[in-house]
Amino acid sequence: MDLLRSEPMQLVQLIIPIESAQRSISYLGDLGLFQFKDLNEDKSPFQQTYASQVKRCGEMSRKLRLFKEQMKKANISPSTWSTRDGSIDLEKLEVKLAELEAELIEINSNNEKLQHTYNELIEYKLVLEKVGEFFSSAQISAATRQRELEVQQPSVEGSIDCPLLMEQETTAYPVKQIKLGFITGLVTREKSIPFERILFRATRGNVFLKQAVVEHHVLDPLSGEKVHKNVFIIFYSGERVKSKINKICDAFGANRYPFSDDLSKQFEMMTEVSERVVELKTTIDVGLLHRSNLLQTIGYKFEQWNLLLQKEKSIYHILNMLNINVTKKCLLAEGWCPVFATSQIQKTLMRATMDCNSQVEAIVQVLQTNELPPTYFCTNIFTSSFQEIIDAYGIAKYQEANPGVYTIITFPFLFAVMFGDWGHGICLLLATLYFIINEKKFYCQKLGDILEMVFGGRYIIMMMALFSIYTGLIYNEFFSIPFELFGQSAYGCRDPTCRDATTIGLVKVRDTYPFGVDPKWHGTRSELPFLNSLKMKMSILLGVSQMNLGIILSYYNAKYFENNINIWHQFVPQIIFLNSLFGYLSLLIIVKWCTGSQADLYHVMIYMFLSPTDDLGENQLFVGQKLLQVILLLLALVSVPWMLLPKPFLLKKQHQERHKSQSYSLIYNVDDPLESKSHGIHKNHQEFDFSEVFVHQLIHTIEFVLGAVSNTASYLRLWALR
């Protein structure tokens, strides 16, 4: 009966010496059979005894999260095969993490500075190349133009005796030559057109802008992102225009770099920048290699450190739930544990005392209480996954019947009703057996989210596969192909010379197929109506059976707690209501199968409510059916107020009888100390709220009546999904 009901629980008080408290909590956590109560609920987190230790653990967790983020960026995954080092404690781990964090931050800072400088040099090199090409092409064009003018000048001078007007103007009004300044840099390609427009408007067209496209991506020094950029050179005249251009460049995020129009200086700058780029590249590669080695070292120990830190943090959280006695140098703990675990807890505390070389042993005391204990189910490797499914919907109350026992069969079987193919079932079984055989290997590995979910539910999937093979044999489907596994089909062609049995028809020539659906049904015209009728009615039978199982479990709960009110005013009307309607429908389905009748069950059930006294005619399946339907309908109608009305009044009467004696009290003297105690008990007496109980019962009744209809319809999904 251990699986059927939760384990008997008891409230236990532990008196633990301070010197062995941490080790005791650690060992109790490994045992997993003690649930601590928080004795310091009124204290804020800052007032707790071990708040500083929790803060230290939080700071170390922050460092581990930093390491994890850095490893993720470097595509380094934590190792799952690291050996556990028992010599590492919290103090050593704190020092180690601080050193690693400081080293990692320093490496990242240096790497960012070097990368920033490297990106600037790459951009500077592009500026030198593109602007140098512009100046060289301009010089070539000017030299060509000069040669053309020199060729044309002698012929002009020979034909004209007087000087040219331009020369006369030059000699008459000498003009001082003005040298133009220029600014070079890079701007993102998306902003190049707005950049050019703003320059033109701000300077009123008194600048000359030349841009060159950079074919490949460029790492921006500020953002570190790869972007497309254009190299630009802006010629201007005047300091005010220069100031405007610099402000516009700052607004557009354009990086400016110096450039000389002297060819020799350009060559020197290009050589120097190229050498500097090579040196920085080598330095950055060495830094990244050192950073990768450091992260790999951290990744080898990361899981071990993370597990140790989580354990220590949990221990200090538990220690903050205990009361501390400074004078006696001990901690007082209270919690729940199964009755069978008392000896194990005592042995665990004794082992912790011996390991800490403490002179005082921990004390275990069982307390008497009226509190409702928590629910604890003993599970094993097979039943734990089924129990988790039940707990996801709701945890049973203390000592109530555990639905998880029945779920071991019902859950995979209902899945198999929908899945139903023994070919797919075999494939699913082989995949599951692989996980089960190698479960020790997979326990030691860190699996992905989906694979971990599949591995955790491997026994559920195994049961699903086994039931799928069974239902697949019933449906006679192997990858949707029928086989004559249990003999020949009972049907044959009406005409021995026929070839197309689907059009001419089939006749029964042998005994009924011994197991499952006859293979001749597959591919015939009547396959869909026949199988739909079969599976729809089978779904109703399964649904009504499972709902009856749930009501029967409520009877066993009421009987176990000796609650006669729930037996007579909850279980009995519920079982009558459900079986008067849907139990009767299940009976009609079985009778129709056995007799081969052509009665319309839809018509029978609908007119059972609309006109129960009318003649059934050809829809009558057995003698006395009309009288039985009237009786069942009356029972269903009576069971609804039966569920609703008696229970609240009986609970009120029971409460009044239970607390009847508290309405009388003895006369005490003024100085009698027991008077205050008596008044205290009377004040703690819980009042009975009849309206609340009645509303709760009303909701429960409506929920059951509507749920009986909707749940029966919901089981038709088994047929729909099939």
Tokens for 517?
């659906």
Q: What are phi and psi of 235, to 5 degrees?
A: -95, 135
| DSSP character at residue 225 | -
412 band by pLDDT with thresholds 50, 70 and 90:
very high
What percent of the chain lies above the pLDDT cut of 70? 89
Q: List pLDDT tens digits, range 527-543.
A: 788 888 888 899 999 99
Q: Which of 74-83, 201-210, 358-367, 552-561 has the lowest mean pLDDT?
A: 74-83
Tokens for 460?
């559920």
Most confident by average pLDDT, 82-96, 194-208, 480-494, 652-666: 194-208
pLDDT at 597: 86
131 band by pLDDT with thresholds 50, 70 and 90:
confident
pLDDT at 15: 92
Alpha-carbon distances, residue 615 vs 602, 618, 621 (angstroms): 15, 9, 12
| DSSP character at residue 561 | T
616 band by pLDDT with thresholds 50, 70 and 90:
confident
263 band by pLDDT with thresholds 50, 70 and 90:
confident
- The H or E element spanning position 12 is strand 9-17
Res. 666: pLDDT tops 50:
no
pLDDT at 178: 59
pLDDT at 498: 57
DSSP code string of 387-449: HHHHHHH-PPPTT-B-THHHHHHHHHHHHHHHH--HHHHHHHHHHHHHHHHTHHHHHTS---H
Res. 522: pLDDT tops 50:
yes
Question: Strand (E) positions, 558-653?
Answer: none
Res. 344: pLDDT tops 90:
yes
CA separation for the pair 269, 263 (Å, rounded): 10
pLDDT at 681: 38
Does residue 66 or residue 616 have the better pLDDT?
A: 66
pLDDT at 153: 61
Q: Which of 87-91, 97-101, 271-275 has the lowest mean pLDDT?
A: 87-91
Res. 177: pLDDT tops 60:
no
325 band by pLDDT with thresholds 50, 70 and 90:
confident
pLDDT at 87: 61
pLDDT at 165: 44
Compute the radius of gyration of the chain from its Cα atoms. 44
Closest by CA position to 607, among listed 617, 598, 597: 617
Tokens for 431?
């995949």
Does residue 675 or residue 651 have the better pLDDT?
A: 651
Residue that the structure tokens 């029978």 belong to: 604
CA 544 centroid distance within chain: 34
Q: Which residues contact 273 (CB under 8 A, 6 or more apart)?
A: 121, 124, 125, 128
Closest by CA position to 574, among listed 639, 648, 650: 639
Mean pLDDT of 444-456: 83
Q: List pLDDT tens digits, range 28-60.
A: 999 999 999 999 988 888 888 889 999 999 999
The average confidence (pLDDT) of the chain is 85
CA separation for the pair 277, 122 (Å, rounded): 7
CA separation for the pair 586, 537 (Å, rounded): 8
- Cβ distance 131 to 184 under 8 Å? yes
Alpha-carbon distances, residue 133 vs 81, 233, 381 (angstroms): 58, 12, 75
What percent of the chain lies above the pLDDT cut of 90? 45
Q: Which of 143-147, 274-278, 339-343, 675-679 has the lowest mean pLDDT?
A: 675-679
Residue type, 71: M
pLDDT at 346: 94
| Beta pairing class for 181-188 and 255-257 | antiparallel
Mean pLDDT of 478-506: 72
Instruction: Name the region of 505 (left: φ>0; alpha: ψ -120 to 50; beta: rest).
Output: left
Res. 461: pLDDT tops 90:
yes
b/e map 536-549, b = 16+ CB within 10 Å = bbbbbebbbeebbe
Most confident by average pLDDT, 110-114, 150-154, 163-167: 110-114
225 band by pLDDT with thresholds 50, 70 and 90:
confident
Does residue 721 or residue 368 have the better pLDDT?
A: 368
| DSSP character at residue 520 | G
Res. 680: pLDDT tops 50:
no
In order of their start, the domains of the chain are 1-38+329-376 (3.30.70.240), 533-666+688-721 (no CATH)
pLDDT at 169: 45
Res. 496: pLDDT tops 80:
no
Tokens for 177?
């030559």
